[in-house]
Amino acid sequence: MGVSASVSGETVEARPDLELAAAAAAARRWLFEEAAPVWADAGFDRDRGLFAEQISWAGRPEPVTRRLRVQARQIYSFCELGRLGWSGPWAEQAERALDRLLAAGRRGDGLFVHTFDDRGDVEDERCDLYDHAFVLFALAHAGAALNRPDLFDTADALFDLWEARYRRPTGGFHEGEVEVQPPRRQNPHMHLFEAALALWEASGRERWLKLAMELERLAEDRFLIGDAMGEYFDENWSPLGARRLAEPGHCFEWAWLFDRAAGHSASALEASDRLCAFARRNGLDAARGVAVNALTADGAVVDADARLWPQTERLKCAVARWRRTGDPEEAREAVDAWRGLHRYLDTPVRGVWRDRLKADGSWVEEPAPASSFYHIICSLSALLAAVDKD
C-alpha cells in the first residue's frame, strides 16, 4: 500500500507526480480565488491608475512611496494572470497602469524615474538599471498579452537610450543614478537578462536574443565564484574580498534562467546544475523547510532569516529541472519548495502574504509588499505549466 501525503490539506498517494499535481491545484485556487481578487481591488488605485505598493493586514493599501519597478512588476503579474486564464479585470488594469507609467514615469530624456509618491506624482527622478529592466520586462509581457506590438518598439527605443549612455567597456552596464558604484552588482543584470529573454520570446527580434546571450556569457565568465553566484564586484567584475556573498535565491534564479537559455548556450546547463547544487547543499534550512537569505561564496550561512522570494526561486528551479529530466527527486523537491512557499501564503487575511521569516521561526509583522507578487506568480506559472505539460 502506498504511503499518503498531504499538500495544503489535500491527501494523495505518495507519488511525486501526484503530489506535484495536488500542489499545482492548490496554487491555482489560491492565485485565482484569493490573491488576484484582493490585488485587483485593494491593490489597484483606480483614481490614479497605479498599483498599491503594500496592502495592510486590514486589507487596505498603505500610503507609501510607489516604486516604479513595482508598477512594472504588477503590469507583468496582471498580464500573466490573463494568460493563465483568470477572468478578472487583468487587461483593463494592466493597460491603465502601463499608460500611466509611460505618460508620467518618463523623463524628458526618455528614461524612467525611480519613484512616485502616494498621490502618483514623481518623487525621485533618478534613473536606475534595475527599474529599467522591469520596464522592459513589462513591455514584453504587455505587448504579447494586450496585442500591442508598438510596445516592442518602445522597448527598442528605451534600451537604445540606456545602452548609449551606460554600456561599460568591461562588460555589462552602469546602474545609473541611484546606486553608488562600485560595487557593481549582478542582480540588475540578471533582471535585464530575464527581460531580454522575454522580449525575444514575445517579439522575435534578434537584438534581444543577442543581448540575452551576451549577459549569459558575462554571468558564466565573471559572476560565478566557484559554484556560487556572486553579488558584489569591482569595476572589472572581480569579486570584492569583503563582500564575497552569495544568495541562495539568486543562485536558484540564475539556475532557472540558465536552464531557459540552454538552447542557445552549450555550457548553460552545466552552470545551472552547479548553482542549483550549491544552493540546495548550503542554503536550505531543513528545520523550517525554507531557503535562507545569504551565504558566503564558500557556503557558510551569513543571514539565516528567510524572505518569501527565495522560496519562489527554489520552486522555479526544481520545476524546470523536473521538466527537463523527469527525475522523481526533482518532483519531490518541487513539492517541498511549494510547501515552504505556502507557509508565507497561509495567512489570516485572504490573498496577502508574509515576507520575512526570522531564524527563530517567528514572522516579521508588516504589510504585504506588492513586489512579491511578481515572484509568486512567476513561480506558480512555472508550476502550473509543468503539471499541464502533458
In tens, the pLDDT along 152-188 reads 999 999 999 999 999 999 999 999 999 999 999 999 9
Nearest to 290 by CA among 273, 307, 272: 307
* HSE-up (13 A, CA, CB side) for residue 70: 21
**pLDDT tens digits along 287-311:** 999 999 999 999 999 999 999 999 9
Residue 242 has pLDDT above 90, yes or no: no
Distance CA 353, CA 379 (A): 15
Cα dihedral sign for 17, 18, 21, 26?
A: negative
pLDDT value of position 16: 87
pLDDT value of position 6: 56
Nearest to 358 by CA among 290, 279, 297: 290
pLDDT value of position 1: 35
Length of the chain: 390
Q: Contacts for 149-158 with beta carbons within 8 Å, 24 or more apart?
A: 149/203, 151/98, 152/199, 152/202, 152/203, 152/205, 154/102, 155/199, 155/203, 156/205, 156/207, 157/110, 158/110, 158/111, 158/112, 158/132
pLDDT value of position 3: 44
Residue 9 has pLDDT above 70, yes or no: no
pTM higher than 0.85, yes or no?
yes
**Could you tell me the pLDDT band of residue 388, with boundaries at 50, 70 and 90?**
confident
**Could you tell me the pLDDT band of residue 345, with boundaries at 50, 70 and 90?**
very high
**Using an 8 Å Cβ cutoff, are 356 and 307 in contact?**
yes
Cα dihedral sign for 303, 309, 313, 315?
A: positive
Residue 14 has pLDDT above 90, yes or no: no
Helix, strand or coil, per DSSP, at residue 291: strand
pLDDT value of position 11: 52
**Using an 8 Å Cβ cutoff, are 57 and 349 in contact?**
yes
Residue 10 has pLDDT above 90, yes or no: no
Output the domain CATH number for residue 33: 1.50.10.10
User: What domain range includes position 148?
Assistant: 4-387
Mean pLDDT of 317-327: 97
List all residues 6 or more positions away from 147 whose beta carbon is below 8 Å from its beta carbon.
none
Overall number of domains in the chain? 1
Residue 13 has pLDDT above 90, yes or no: no
**Lookup: cell for 310:** 527565495
